[in-house]
Every structure is written in C-alpha cells, then in structure tokens.
C-alpha cells in the first residue's frame, strides 16, 4: 500500500469518527470512496429470524437520480439470498438484453453482515445500467462494508449500554425502596406497638389526658400506615394499568380550593396564595386529580417548610395549566429528570420521610388524563410543579 492511499484512508477514518450519529457516519463513509467506487444505491438489510421480516435500517441513493432515502425493493430478494448463503454475491443482468431502461439493468453486489447468531443482515450496492464491478471495486466495497458493520455494531452497543444503565438505575431504586419501605413501615408500627403496650400495662395507670395523647398518636400512626400501603397498592395498579378512571367535567379551581381547605385544617400554618382565572372545565376523575394535588401540597409542606405556596390556574389554548410554586431550597438540576420515576428520592441527607412514590403516582394519573406534568426548580429560590390538562372536549 502506498503512502497516499494510507493517508486517504486515515482522513476518511477521522471524518467518519467525527460524526454525531451512526447514520451520519455511514453517509460519510459511503460518500468517501466514491472517487474510486461508484454506485447508485446502497442499503443495509437485517433479517428478523423470529418474525421472518426484513428491516431496512439504512438506505441511500447516491448516484444518478439521487435523492435521500433509496427505494429499497430492488435489493430485498438479493439481500435474502446473501444472508441465506452467508457469502459475498455478485449479480449482473443477463448480457443479451439490450434496453434503454437502466432501472431494469441492476448490477448488484452484496456482503453478509452479522450482529449475533439471530441478527443477520446484508449490505447491498446497486449500479443501474452498469458498468460491471471491477476487482478493485469489489475490494473497496468489501472494506467499506466491514467498516459499516463496525459503525452499526457501535450503535447497537450504545443502545444496549443505555438500556443497561436504565435497568441498573431501576434496580438501585428498588434496593433503596426496600430499605426505605421497611423503615417507613417499622416507624409507625413501632409507635403503635409502644403506646398500646404502655396503655395495656397492668402496673401503671395513666390519667385521662395522657391516655388521650397516646391514643391520638396511635390513631395518627395507623393513618400513616394506611396511606403508605394505599400508595404502594396504587402505584402497583397504575403500573399494571388496572386502575379504573371515572371521567366527568371538572372545574379545576374549585377542586384545588377544596383540597386546599382540607390540607389547611391539618396544617393551619401553611400560607397559600391563589391566582385563578375563569376556566373551562377539564375532563377528569375528581378523586384521582385530588390525589395529585394533595401530593403536591404534601411535598411543599415536607420539602419547603414555612414557605408560601403560590397556586395559579390558567387556560392556555385548549388546555388548563395549574402551577404550584414554593420558595423552598429547590432541587439540583441533575436530579430533575428522574423526579417522576417510581421510588425515586433526591439523594442526600434525609430527615423527611417518604417513599418516592408520590410524584410517580401524580405522573401516571395526569398521563391517564392525556395531560402533562413537569417541574422547574432553582436552587435556593424554589420549585414549581406544572400540570396541564386538556379542556373537556364534550363541552
């Protein structure tokens, strides 16, 4: 090999590597050798051995009549043959036919590629109307095809890495969840057991006020346990999509005010500011939507204590958007994308109890309403949750 060829290959290698994604890399690669190896179309086929279908994962028309994605029917049967035989195939049209219809005169060159024993494919080049492929062309095409396979393998690896990453994160969350949940279950149970044992002691008598105090603690802790178990069941039902929704026209401002009144009876110190515009009703399940807003109130109380909660509800186009803004510590940007995942809790020192189920439940309920929920947060300034629901289409 001479120095010039080596330098050319090296330049191509660098250019191909620079590309942002695998399709752009293949575009660069298939375009790079065109000075020495000309073809009209190139396509990459993969055979799904289970479904017995052929997928075209990449196709380009580069030659005469070029224009983006190539029509890939021309190479499909040929690709099947290349895959079945597992070797390079060259197919030229019968010499005797003389015709001006170039498209009926396909010179096909195919190379088998394989990602795994069950994922086999072929790269097929076509020249319409010739000329026939020379020995040099076949070598160049072979080199290009091995290179293309490396690019496709890299893409598959990247996808596999991403999947693995997400599975690993989910497994970590499940692990954390088991320790969180055992703590969350044990704490109220500990209180209930401790105070009821004290009350039952034969050797001690408690005055009326103390008895009342102990019973109140037992009652509150039993409520906490019930809520926790309900959340776990609810999240399981939402995940398996077995939760039934009963939709009816709902005025979001009235619903949020009702929830706010209930919350205020338990947390009289919570300051709430309303900014409501006149609204069209949304189609919603009142019980479930109340649950969403209760969660947002409860999070504001837990994570932004002593802060005023500003709630606004406005119509935007054919949607209604509610926002809940607190002035708490905020959430670091890196954690925001995971907030609505099941069991996710922002890492760090924890004094606040929780399971990481609340926002997951909110998101599933909002999505069942064909709506949207998202969060914006600025450190030391506060966090705002937005909920967007479509206006009731029947009204």
Interface ranges with ligand ADP (CB under 6 A): 295, 299-300, 303-304, 326, 328, 331, 339, 344-346, 354-360, 383
Rounded distance between C-alpha atoms, residue 134 and residue 120, angstroms: 27
Query: Phi and psi at residue 392, in whole multiples of 5°?
Result: -55, 115
Report the residue number, 144 or 295, with the smaller CB distance to ligand ADP: 295
Q: Least distance (Å) from ligand ADP to the CB of residue 189?
A: 18
Residue the block writes with tokens 């346990």: 225
Q: Least distance (Å) from ligand ADP to the CB of residue 43?
A: 47
Closest CA to 329 of 346, 313, 342: 346
Report the residue number, 214 or 386, with the smaller CB distance to ligand ADP: 386
How many residues does the structure list for the chain?
395
Residue 369 CB coordination number (10 Å) = 22
Q: Least distance (Å) from ligand ADP to the CB of residue 125?
A: 53
Closest CA to 129 of 98, 109, 107: 107
Report the residue number, 170 or 211, with the smaller CB distance to ligand ADP: 170
Report the residue number, 25 or 300, with the smaller CB distance to ligand ADP: 300
Report the residue number, 326 or 388, with the smaller CB distance to ligand ADP: 326
The two tokens of residue 369 are 């309403």
Query: Phi and psi at residue 319, in whole multiples of 5°?
Result: -130, 160
- Number of DSSP helices (H) and strands (E) in the chain, helices first: 8, 12
Q: Least distance (Å) from ligand ADP to the CB of residue 81?
A: 55
Q: Least distance (Å) from ligand ADP to the CB of residue 277?
A: 23
Q: Least distance (Å) from ligand ADP to the CB of residue 22?
A: 36
Residue the block writes with tokens 């090999």: 1
Report the residue number, 214 or 338, with the smaller CB distance to ligand ADP: 338
Closest CA to 345 of 174, 162, 224: 174
Q: Least distance (Å) from ligand ADP to the CB of residue 6?
A: 56
- Judged by DSSP in three states, 332 sits in coil
Give CA angle at 344 (288, 389), nearest 5°.
35
Report the residue number, 18 or 183, with the smaller CB distance to ligand ADP: 183
The two tokens of residue 64 are 């005469």
Report the residue number, 56 or 365, with the smaller CB distance to ligand ADP: 365
The two tokens of residue 62 are 């580069």
Instruction: Write the DSSP string, 109-151.
Output: EEEEEEEETTEEEEEEEEEET-PPPPHHHHHHHHHHHHHHHHH
Report the residue number, 275 or 277, with the smaller CB distance to ligand ADP: 275
Report the residue number, 303 or 386, with the smaller CB distance to ligand ADP: 303
Residue the block writes with tokens 């909920």: 387
Q: Least distance (Å) from ligand ADP to the CB of residue 57?
A: 38
The two tokens of residue 51 are 């479904």
Helix 135-200 crosses helix 22-32 at what angle (to 10 degrees)?
170
> Exposed e or buried b for every residue in 228-250, given b needs 16+ CB within 10 A?
beebbebbeebeeeebeeeeeeb
Q: Least distance (Å) from ligand ADP to the CB of residue 272?
A: 14
Rounded distance between C-alpha atoms, residue 386 and residue 262, angstroms: 21
Report the residue number, 29 or 296, with the smaller CB distance to ligand ADP: 296
Q: Least distance (Å) from ligand ADP to the CB of residue 273?
A: 16
Q: Least distance (Å) from ligand ADP to the CB of residue 296?
A: 8
């Amino acid at each position: 090999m001479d120095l010039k060829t080596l330098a050319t290959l090296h330049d191509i290698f660098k250019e191909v590597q620079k590309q942002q994604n695998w399709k752009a890399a293949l575009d660069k690669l298939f375009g790079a050798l065109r000075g020495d190896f000309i073809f009209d179309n190139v396509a990459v086929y993969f055979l799904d051995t289970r479904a017995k279908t052929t997928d075209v994962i990449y196709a380009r028309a580069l030659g005469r009549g070029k224009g983006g994605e190539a029509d890939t029917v021309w190479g499909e049967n040929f690709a099947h043959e290349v895959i079945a035989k597992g070797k390079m195939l060259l197919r030229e049209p019968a010499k005797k036919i003389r015709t001006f219809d170039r498209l009926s005169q396909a010179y096909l060159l195919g190379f088998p590629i394989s990602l795994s024993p069950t994922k086999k494919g072929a790269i097929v080049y076509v020249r319409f109307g010739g000329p026939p492929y020379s020995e040099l062309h076949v070598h160049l095409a072979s080199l290009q095809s091995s290179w293309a396979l490396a690019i496709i393998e890299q893409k598959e690896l990247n996808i596999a890495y991403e999947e693995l990453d997400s599975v690993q994160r989910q497994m970590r969350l499940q692990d954390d969840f088991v320790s969180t949940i055992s703590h969350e279950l044990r704490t109220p149970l500990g209180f209930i057991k401790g105070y009821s044992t004290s009350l039952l002691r034969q050797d001690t008598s408690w005055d009326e006020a103390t008895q009342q105090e102990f019973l109140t603690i037992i009652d509150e802790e039993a409520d906490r346990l019930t809520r926790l178990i309900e959340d776990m069941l609810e999240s399981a039902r939402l995940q398996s999509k077995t939760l039934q929704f009963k939709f009816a026209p709902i005025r979001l401002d009235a619903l949020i005010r009702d929830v706010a009144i209930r919350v205020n009876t338990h947390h009289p110190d919570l300051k709430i500011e309303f900014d409501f515009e006149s609204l069209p009703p949304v189609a919603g399940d009142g019980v479930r939507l109340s649950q969403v807003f209760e969660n947002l109130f409860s999070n504001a109380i837990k994570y932004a204590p002593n802060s005023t909660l500003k709630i606004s509800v406005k119509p935007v186009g054919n949607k209604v958007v509610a926002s809940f803004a607190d002035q708490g510590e905020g959430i670091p940007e890196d954690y925001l994308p995971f907030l609505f995942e099941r069991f996710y809790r922002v890492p760090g020192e924890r004094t606040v109890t929780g399971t990481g189920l609340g926002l997951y439940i909110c998101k599933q309920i909002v999505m069942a309403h064909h709506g949207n929920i998202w969060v914006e947060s600025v450190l030391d300034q506060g966090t705002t949750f937005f909920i967007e629901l479509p206006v009731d289409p029947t009204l």
